[in-house]
Structure 1
Amino acid sequence: MLESKGENPLRDTVPANPDFDDLLATAHALADQAGAVILPHFRTGLAIDHKGGALFDPVTAADLAAETAIRSALAATHPAHGIVGEEFGATAPDADYCWIIDPIDGTRAFIVGQPLWGTLIGLVRNGVPLLGLMNQPFTGERYWSGERQSYFRHSSGIEQTIRTRPCRTLSDALLTASSPDLFESEEEQASFARVASAVRLRRFGGDCYNYCLLALGQIDLVVEAGLKDFDILPLIPIIERSGGVVSTWEGGDPRRGGRILAAGDPRLHEQAVKILTQ
């Protein structure tokens, strides 16, 4: 749900803590730099490598170049901060401030030319998510968390606060997941089938884009498995500060990834946890 704030729609983005303002500005700058590196590769038929494992795990020159650009920028501006990235691992992950980076979340969509991917940039302070940002440079959309609310910038440049929408029951819910391939065990497949059979609509594809559409009030549930910390940590503040709930399937801490459940309505989240864990 978009919420207009009149003549100054972002007046609430000025935080009480000026350090937050500076750090958020850094996140925006990193997103701009990564987007400039990634876009020249999109829909160009670039080479694709497989990281290994039973499930195809692709990586491209765009992934590597974008994370390299982000790391170089952070080394120049915040050398004492840690970094955890998908492509190059962890550097000082126990630092008080640690950036969590996924240069292209949704590489499978990227390599087939679908715009359902994004750059994830998050920051944790002493292990607690402080801010998160998702940038989709091809569509010109950006989602991020302020200190108290979440925001969306349209391709037109208009910036507005966003809220999840109310959805009281599973029978009214719209559910998404990136791929059925994520549910590798019979137990996970059965659990997902139970919740999927209870909702109004299910749809596959979307990766990080799904969580942002949930924050925007377009989707009610996202159910996934096999996620890494960098897949979800940057999205947690965006979801929570738009009014949503994100946890493991059991209702636990989602920061380490794994089996993830996000809901726009806390009542819906409670129902989904019960079905996924029964």
Structure 2
Amino acid sequence: MPMLSESDRADLIGTAADLAAAAREATLLHFRSAGLSAETKEADRFDPVTVADRLCEERMRAILAHRRPQDGILGEEMGARAGQSGLTWVLDPIDGTRSYLCGTPTWGVLISVADETGPIYGLIDQPYIGERFEGGLGRAVMRGPMGERALATRAPRPLAEAILMSTFPEVGSAEEEAAFRRLSRQVKLTRYGTDCYAYALLAAGQIDLVVEAGLQPYDVQAPMAVIEAAGGVFTDWQGRRNPSGGRVIAAANAEIHAAALEMLGAG
């Protein structure tokens, strides 16, 4: 893919902002509304999707069809559309639909644009709180009710002083859960249930590690772009950059990343 010009970068950043604005409107239209229900996408477990998930992705796709028709799209709810530009927009209209259904404000909208190597720019947006975390194309910034500031991950510290987060206590398979438990026993504090907001907190310097398994490209690409731009590390459990998802370890710095990888592989 050719190098992006300054105007190309500005257009990608502006398009992402337009997508996030549309997503805020669509998701807040139904958040904490009476009678909100969900269908499940899988027969053997509750994997919810709501009218808000679908509406949000529809509106983002409509903007891309107008502004960036040459780009590809990969969305959680509506699948893949091939493009011709070498760039693909990766969209998760509501990351944390279970949290959305419960009325908790830890869900978010994930928007990223990727080339053949993975994400080059991403947003983690929380419409209800009004916070946006942005990374890539020379930017690493968060904006919210307390204003704007640069994103920067935490400095190195011993694993015994670290804060670890994950969405589900079960993490994944029995083997993956056992590996996670080994790591969890070594850290100062482990917390659960914040979905993509955990990655935002890592980029903002609040926590040290996020470890998960079984993730999809639309789950990881925006957080990867934001965390890398903020100075962090985002890989699989073997230390390889993983824009396709799977097992994930996001770390504030290389030192704590290495320490956590050692624990995950110690079994």
- Say which SS state the counterpart of residue 138 (structure 2) adopts: coil
Pairwise CA distance, 1:129: 1.4
User: 1: distance between equivalents of 2:254 and 2:166?
Assistant: 19
User: 2: distance between equivalents of 1:130 and 1:249?
Assistant: 22
User: 1: distance between equivalents of 2:56 and 2:50?
Assistant: 10
> Which residue identity does 1:175 align to in structure 2?
L
Partner residue, 1:3: none
Q: 1:152 and 2:139 equivalent?
A: no
Q: 1:62 and 2:28 equivalent?
A: no
Of 168, 171, 181, the match for 1:182? 171
Partner residue, 1:11: none
Of 2, 9, 25, the match for 1:20? 9
Partner residue, 2:79: 89
- Do the aligned residues in 2 keep the contact of 1:121 with 1:132 (CA within 8 Å)? yes
Runs (4 or more) in structure 1 with deviation over 3 Å come to: none
Pairwise CA distance, 1:223: 0.5
Pairwise CA distance, 1:53: 4.3
- Do the aligned residues in 2 keep the contact of 1:191 with 1:277 (CA within 8 Å)? yes
Residues paired across the two proteins, number: 262
Pairwise CA distance, 1:134: 1.1
> Which residue identity does 1:135 align to in structure 2?
D
Of 210, 223, 232, the match for 1:222? 210
- Say which SS state the counterpart of residue 70 (structure 2) adopts: coil
Partner residue, 1:99: 89
> Which residue identity does 1:221 align to in structure 2?
L
Of 146, 163, 166, the match for 2:155? 166
- Say which SS state the counterpart of residue 89 (structure 2) adopts: strand
Partner residue, 1:209: 197
User: 2: distance between equivalents of 1:32 and 1:119?
Assistant: 10
User: 2: distance between equivalents of 1:93 and 1:58?
Assistant: 29
- Say which SS state the counterpart of residue 29 (structure 2) adopts: helix
For residues 158-211 of structure 1, what are the alpha-carbon distances to aligned partners after superposition, in whole Å with 9 as ceiling and x for unaligned? 22211001132210100000112332x221111000000000000001111000
- Do the aligned residues in 1 keep the contact of 2:171 with 2:180 (CA within 8 Å)? no
> Which residue identity does 2:18 align to in structure 1?
A
Pair 1:269–1:32, CA change in 2 (3 A):
same
User: 1: distance between equivalents of 2:249 and 2:218?
Assistant: 16
Pairwise CA distance, 1:127: 3.7
Q: Which runs of 5+ in 2 are unaligned?
A: none
User: 2: distance between equivalents of 1:41 and 1:241?
Assistant: 32
- Do the aligned residues in 2 keep the contact of 1:81 with 1:97 (CA within 8 Å)? yes
**Percent of residue pairs identical:** 42
Q: Which runs of 5+ in 1 are unaligned?
A: 1-14
- Do the aligned residues in 2 keep the contact of 1:250 with 1:276 (CA within 8 Å)? no
Of 108, 115, 131, the match for 2:121? 131
- Do the aligned residues in 1 keep the contact of 2:70 with 2:84 (CA within 8 Å)? no
Pairwise CA distance, 1:235: 1.2
User: 2: distance between equivalents of 1:92 and 1:216?
Assistant: 34
- Say which SS state the counterpart of residue 207 (structure 1) adopts: coil
For residues 206-246 of structure 1, what are the alpha-carbon distances to aligned partners after superposition, in whole Å with 9 as ceiling and x for unaligned? 11100010000001000001100100011111101101001
Of 14, 33, 41, the match for 2:30? 41
User: 2: distance between equivalents of 1:34 and 1:49?
Assistant: 20
**TM superposition score normalised by structure 2:** 0.94
User: 2: distance between equivalents of 1:128 and 1:248?
Assistant: 14
Pair 1:128–1:189, CA change in 2 (3 A):
closer
Mapping 1:252-267, distance limit 5 Å: 252-267=240-255
**TM superposition score normalised by structure 1:** 0.91
> Which residue identity does 2:245 align to in structure 1?
G
> Which residue identity does 2:10 align to in structure 1?
D
Most deviating of 247-256 and 260-269? 247-256
> Which residue identity does 2:98 align to in structure 1?
R
